[in-house]
């Protein structure tokens, strides 16, 4: 709060007090009070008036700064009214009481929403683990079928598993800190696991995967990194061109490691590139080929942000797409 804001807020009150003082001076002058006495009395009143206003200004400014410090120190800002000392004035106390009651109602609503969100997340995780049993059973049944039918059903089951996995990570992405462990991991093993998880899709799509220079150590959550890379492989296979090839390569950037996932697919129109990480955005390619949810790259960006990975994408329509994942150096991680 500045002096100008304080005076602007009290302008009408200050004007009224000055008018009353002026009228009192006129009354004393009319009753025969000497002008010298009136001047001394007026100066004395103005000094008292200025001192009172100045003290009030410093008192309010100190109080507001204390409130700002309390608010800045809170992780959950909606608990502000519960941590704030009540004001001294009657009007301010009554207003503060109303604000606190409204804040308590909001805290209750937030707690209920968090409980529902937690229950939903737990339900999704249980459902994912339960659905894996019939998927595994279906895979076993596929072994007794003829070759062409078995390949088709196996590919569809792989797609189901991919959607199930995406649902699980979407639920976990709301509270990533509860399921994340950043530690040293082998980039080659991460890539191998992601390729293995999507082997049926890659084979069915006729995609050849080439790797090079992946014998490097990175600091990340291995499970989440496998998921992110898997989403990139799925996109490359879904939007493939003729004779599709996906190249996974790595290089050092100082103490950081960059993983480049490059394909020779149909690419992304330049005007759509700024929106590819938006939630639910499918783009013209997704609408043309179908089956796109617009959630894969959205989850990649969200999880990469928590893992402190830099995720960038460049693409030329008709030529292919390259996605670069930059793993941070160990000393730069804030969550280790």
- Domain layout of the chain by residue ranges: 3-105, 175-332
Return the closest-CA partner of residue 247 out of 256, 259, 230.
259
Specify the pTM: 0.64
Q: Does domain 175-332 have CATH number 3.30.565.10?
A: yes
- Report the run of H or E that residue 215 belongs to, with start and end: none
Q: What pLDDT, on a 0 to 100 scale, did the predictor assign at position 135?
A: 83
**Residues in the chain with pLDDT values less than 70:** 1, 3, 6-7, 176-178, 289-291, 335-336
Return the closest-CA partner of residue 165 out of 76, 79, 227.
227
Return the closest-CA partner of residue 336 out of 179, 220, 217.
220
Return the closest-CA partner of residue 213 out of 262, 248, 254.
248
- The predicted-structure confidence for 46-101, as pLDDT tens digits, reads as follows 888 888 878 888 887 888 888 888 878 777 777 777 777 777 777 777 888 888 88
Distance CA 273, CA 283 (A): 9
Distance CA 197, CA 202 (A): 10
């Amino acid at each position: 709060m500045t002096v100008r804001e304080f005076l602007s807020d009290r302008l009408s009150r200050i004007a009224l007090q000055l008018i009353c003082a002026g009228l009192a001076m006129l009354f004393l002058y009319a009753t025969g009070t000497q002008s010298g006495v009136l001047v001394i009395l007026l100066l004395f009143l103005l000094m008292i008036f200025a001192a009172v206003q100045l003290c009030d200004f410093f008192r309010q400014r100190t109080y507001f700064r204390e409130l700002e410090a309390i608010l800045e120190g809170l992780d959950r800002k909606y608990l502000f009214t519960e941590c704030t000392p009540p004001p001294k004035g009657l009007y301010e106390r009554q207003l503060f009481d109303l604000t606190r009651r409204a804040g308590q109602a909001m805290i209750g609503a937030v707690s209920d929403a968090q409980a529902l969100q937690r229950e939903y997340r737990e339900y999704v995780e249980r459902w994912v683990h339960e659905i894996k049993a019939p998927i595994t059973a279906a895979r076993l049944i596929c072994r007794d079928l003829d070759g062409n039918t078995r390949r088709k059903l196996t590919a569809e089951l792989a797609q189901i598993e991919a959607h199930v996995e995406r649902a699980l990570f979407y639920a976990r992405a709301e509270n990533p800190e509860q399921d994340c462990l950043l530690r040293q991991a082998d980039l080659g093993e991460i890539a191998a696991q992601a390729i293995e998880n999507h082997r049926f899709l890659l084979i069915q799509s006729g995609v050849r995967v080439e790797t090079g220079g992946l014998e490097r150590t990175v600091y990340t959550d291995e499970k989440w990194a496998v998921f992110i890379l898997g989403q990139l492989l799925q996109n490359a296979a879904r939007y493939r061109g003729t004779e599709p090839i996906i190249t996974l390569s790595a290089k050092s950037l100082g103490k950081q490691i960059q993983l480049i996932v490059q394909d020779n697919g149909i690419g992304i129109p330049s005007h759509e590139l700024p929106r590819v990480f938006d939630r639910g955005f499918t783009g013209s390619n997704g609408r043309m080929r179908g089956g796109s949810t617009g959630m894969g790259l959205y989850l990649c960006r969200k999880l990469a942000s928590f893992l402190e990975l830099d995720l960038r994408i460049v693409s030329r329509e008709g030529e292919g797409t390259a996605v670069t994942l930059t793993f941070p150096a160990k000393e730069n991680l804030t969550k280790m």
